[in-house]
Amino acid sequence: MENYSFFKQKLSILCLEDSMADADLICERLKAEGYFMQFDIVSTEKEFIGKIVEIQYDLILSDYNMPGFNGLSALKHARSICPEVPFICISGTIGDDAAVELLKQGASDYVLKDRLARLPFAIQRALKNVEDKHAFTKNEQKFKNLVENSMNGIFTTNIEGELLFANPALWKMLEFDSFEEFKQFGVSRTYRNQEDRTVFIDKLIPVKRITNHELVLRTKNGNEINVNISAYLEDGKITGTLINVTEYKLAENELRKLSQAVEQSPVCIIITNLKGNIVYGNPKVCELTGYSSNDLLGKNPSIFQSGETPEETYKILWDTIISGKTWQGEFHNRKKNGELFWEFASISPIVDDKGMITNFLAVKEDITERKKMITRLEDSKAKAEAGDRLKTAFIHNISHEMRTPLNGILGFSGLITQPDLSAEEKIRYSEVINASSARLLNTVTNYMDISMIESGNMEVNLKPFDLLPELHSIIEQFQPLCAVKALALQLQIQVVQDNIQIFTDALGLSIENTFQRGLKIENSNRLCFSDD
């Protein structure tokens, strides 16, 4: 006999038998088979009912024919009061019809009294069935609990779409308050459109089973949710599970947008591991530096270093990001082809949900052109400031150059009108006025020429010519003026060659400018022109 669990515990058996001899025979037979039991005997219907109401038995053994009472009536009482207890009929004679009816009404078996050797096997099978049923019921309850408490929707419909079962997760997912409300609403109305349902059914029928079929369902309130459905078709019924992936889809879309933004970003984005080795670089990094993705992966960003960024900068960078803060600054880096470029970088740590640093993120912008523009602006500013200084000096100079002859003109113009002047004085005053006027006119002409040359309205005719004849001409012109003031004017040439050629505009070489730039005062009454 197999070692089932009911042999390890005391069995409680109720025997309904009007013959004590037969009851004792049954009891002894079971003991001989090794049953450890409590064996109660009753002989009337009243006693039988009283016992099964009072005590929870493991097994009921009943005779079929008794005075005013039979096994079928006993079975009906047992099914009503203790339906889980196995019932075996033991009779001396029992017709086939009676035996069939007993089995129909729920009897576990029947055994003839002249064949009691079969009784232990009948009991064994009946108790095993009970044990299996209890195990099945227990597993069924576990399965039911799993289904009822599942976070995913579980359903059963017929092929026409009538809802046969839906767990709470499903009808709550679709915003219904109960299974009955969901069933009344109708499964077909939860599809976004009839075409979606047709595609799902047409896909399922040929293969009988599908997994992770994507659908968009509409809830009772009209909201749309994304679901993954796995289902199988059997006996005209569709059973399956639904997983709400709406939030996943939203997150996936956001991640896709973020990924595209990073891939298409106009700035360089680099992610490194904790050792600083590159694990990701967007296309802009490759475009700017000339390195391919394969060149960069696993490498340290030090491959960009040009040697022109101070080591102290890198030390401060690492101290900052390891402490969990963001570092910002500039790098003067080198491309793969050796070309230098400027970057503005913002480098920060990436942390997990526990606050632990997992990676470092660098967002870098090429500022080479910006740096060049700043340099150009600074140069332009310096030139403008220098121009302002020159302009100021120019104004001061022209003011002086024009004020001196004007003072002479105005002063002597007033004096020359005096009635008591001698003829000699009038001549002298007139000469001063003429000289001052000529000087003023020459100054104005020179500055106008300079202005026209700078504005491009006058061309400079540059060509070589002999300087010495021009210098002798200047001496001859200024000798009379110097004689009036009792000044000695000399030309000293400290060169050995006879011809000294220069390259300039001969007409633009103003006599007065040449004279003023070349004359040096040696004493109060002597001027000389030197070649230095």
With CA atoms as reference, report the closest residue to 27 among 46, 44, 40, 43.
40
At residue 9, the pLDDT reads 64
Question: Class for domain 5-139, per CATH?
Answer: alpha beta
pLDDT of residue 497: 63
The low-confidence residues of the chain, meaning pLDDT below 50, are 1-8, 510-532
Among the four given CATH numbers 3.30.360.10, 3.30.450.20, 3.40.50.720, 3.40.190.10, the one describing domain 265-366: 3.30.450.20
CATH for 367-459, options being 3.50.50.60, 1.10.287.130, 1.10.10.10, 1.20.120.160 = 1.10.287.130
Distance from chain centroid for Cα 445: 72
pLDDT at res. 400: 67
Model pLDDT, residue 351: 93
Q: In this predicted structure, what is the pLDDT of residue 87?
A: 94
Q: Where are the domains of the chain?
A: 5-139, 150-250, 265-366, 367-459, 463-529
* pLDDT of 291: 94
Three-state DSSP at 233 gives strand
Given its phi and psi angles, is residue 462 left (phi above 0), alpha (psi -120 to 50 degrees) or beta?
A: beta
Count of CA atoms in the C-beta half-sphere (13 A) of 336? 11
d(CA 421, CA 299): 100
Does 150-250 match 367-459 in CATH topology?
Answer: no
Residue whose token pair is 């008794």: 66
Confidence at residue 522, expressed as pLDDT on a 0 to 100 scale:
36
Which tokens is 241 given? 């599970």
- To which CATH superfamily is domain 150-250 assigned? PAS domain (3.30.450.20)
pLDDT of the residue at 524 = 35
Structure tokens at 323: 């402490």
Q: Give residue 13's pLDDT.
A: 93
DSSP secondary structure letter of residue 305: B
